[in-house]
Structure 1
Amino acid sequence: MMIKIKSSMGLEVIGTSDRIFEHIDEHEIFVGIGDNNTRQRIYESLETVGAHIPVLVHPSAVIGDQVNIGKGTVVMAGAVINCCTNIGKGCIINTGSTIDHDNCIEDYVHISPGVHLAGSVRIGHGSWLGIGSVVSNGVNIAKECKVGAGSVVIKDIIESGVYIGTPAKRLR
């Protein structure tokens, strides 16, 4: 049995995802999917056909001067992004996370709730930082990395993989 949802969180539901391309000329379309690879695949297919993909910023987020945020990125409640930071397209900057000055967050990165990035940090394309993880000043994290919940990254991660612990070490 198919359930027809007419609204969600006070917003009208106009159709299912299999009908998304019918609406690209009428509405902005935001890809709200947590998985980085799936989000990227759908975002790129929408971008190819000219969909307008907005940036969403919660009103309680704090955004400093000279911060660039790419299309399709969401900044959730209580997040803080300080000056001179660049955030790529299709990213998730989740609840209560902090990104200090002069950071570079590449495309399709997921910064989980309560993550803290010090200054001059670079996070590579498609990486995922788990809830409550911390990245020290000047550290670079390679593309396609997963950093486990509560992990502390104190030196560069130069190889894609899964990293956990304090200090973070490669699991696989």
Structure 2
Amino acid sequence: MHIIGAGGHAKVIVEIILESNFKIEGIWDENPDLIEFMGYPVNGNFKSFMEKIIPNEAIIAIGNNGIRKKLGEQLSNNKGVAIHKSSVVSSSASINFGTVIMANATINAHATIGKYAIINTNASIDHDCHLGDYVHVSPQAGLGGNVTVGEGTHIGLGSSIIQGITIGKWATIGAGAVIINDIPDYAVVVGNPGRIIKYNKRHDEQ
């Protein structure tokens, strides 16, 4: 497995891969001064990776959803997935490529997770949820059943989303927010109950 990115997020992913008995094939990062990461050599940047490697198994270890999309769109043959051995993933759930499931996360029956998503430590995704590509569900966040989350949305640390809610694309749900109403695209939401305080830039304008 190749790891793209060598920051704090990547440290967790490296450990997940090693605990799953996969081999780290290479580490790649944009910092030209970084030559070693967690005992592995850093082989070059993303451009070098694309020039040298047939990218069929890679994890983009970058927390920023927009950057993961930019890089992920270039990895047309990628099949890499990293799932921590302590997570609980229903046999009827669907996990797309490039996605990371971290320690003690739970994904219940008939949930679907898009590509290059992050389901972080102790997050809970209940039955029949649908998460789009490049979504990040932060540690200890909980989604009730039948929740839909659009592309690129970030669900903040410890937030709660009641069942049946739809959250649009590229929205931001603040840490600890409680979501009891549908949320439109690009909205930034905080508080209990959640309220919109502003809107993110459109992703195609970033």
Q: TM-score, normalised by structure 1?
A: 0.90
CA offset at residue 27 of structure 1? 6.4
1:165 shift after superposition: 0.5
Tell me, what secondary structure is at the counterpart of 2:74?
helix
Aligned CA distance change for structure 1 residues 23 and 95 (closer, same or farther; 3 Å):
farther
Q: Does 1:156 align with 2:178?
A: no
Matched, 1:5 2:65: no
**Count of residue pairs the alignment pairs up:** 167
Determine whether 1:95 maps to 2:107.
no
Counterparts of 2:55 and 2:179, CA distance in 1: 44
1:16 and 2:45 aligned: yes
Q: 2:75 corresponds to which residue?
A: 46
Instruction: Give distance in 2, aligned partners of 1:116 and 1:160.
Output: 20
User: Are residues 26 and 68 of structure 1, via their aligned partners in 2, closer, same or farther at CA, if it must alter by over 3 Å?
Assistant: closer
User: Given the superposition, is the C-alpha separation of residues 4 and 65 from structure 1 closer, same or farther in structure 2, using an over 3 Å criterion?
Assistant: closer
Tell me, in whole angstroms, the C-alpha distance in 2 between the residues paired with 1:37 and 1:113. 19
Partner of 1:63: 89
**2:146 is equivalent to residue 120 of structure 1:** yes
**Corresponding residue for 2:197?**
171
In the alignment, the residues of structure 1 paired with residue 140 and residue 38 of structure 2 have an alpha-carbon distance, to the nearest angstrom, of 24
Q: Distance in 1 between matches of 2:175 and 2:40?
A: 32
8 Å contact from structure 1 (residues 30, 53) kept in 2:
no
Structure 1 residue ranges without an equivalent (≥5): none
State the one-letter code of the partner of 2:139.
Answer: P
Distance change in 2, residues 1:55/1:162 (3 Å): same
1:74 matches 2:103:
no
Q: Describe the superposition over 1:10-43 as per-residue Cα deviations: whole angstroms up to 9, x where unpaired.
A: 5453333341113432762211111111100001
Say whether the 8 Å CA contact 1:115–1:131 is kept in structure 2. yes
Give distance in 2, aligned partners of 1:11 and 1:60: 25
Which residue identity is paired with 1:5?
I
Structure 2 residue 62 is the aligned partner of structure 1 residue 33: yes
Deviation of residue 144 (structure 1)? 1.1
Sequence identity (%): 39
Which sits farther off after the overlay, 99-108 or 159-168?
159-168
Could you say if the C-alpha distance between residues 149 and 61 of structure 1 is closer, same or farther in structure 2, counting changes exceeding 3 Å?
A: same
Letter in 2 for 1:35: N
Q: Distance in 2 between matches of 1:107 and 1:91?
A: 6
Cα pair 2:165 2:181 within 8 Å, conserved: yes
Mark the CA change 1:26 to 1:82 in structure 2 (over 3 Å): closer, same or farther.
Answer: closer
114-123 vs 22-31, greater mean Cα deviation: 22-31
Q: Aligned equivalents of 1:4 and 1:151: distance in 2? A: 37
State the match for 2:4 in structure 1: none
CA distance in 1, matches of 2:117, 2:56: 20
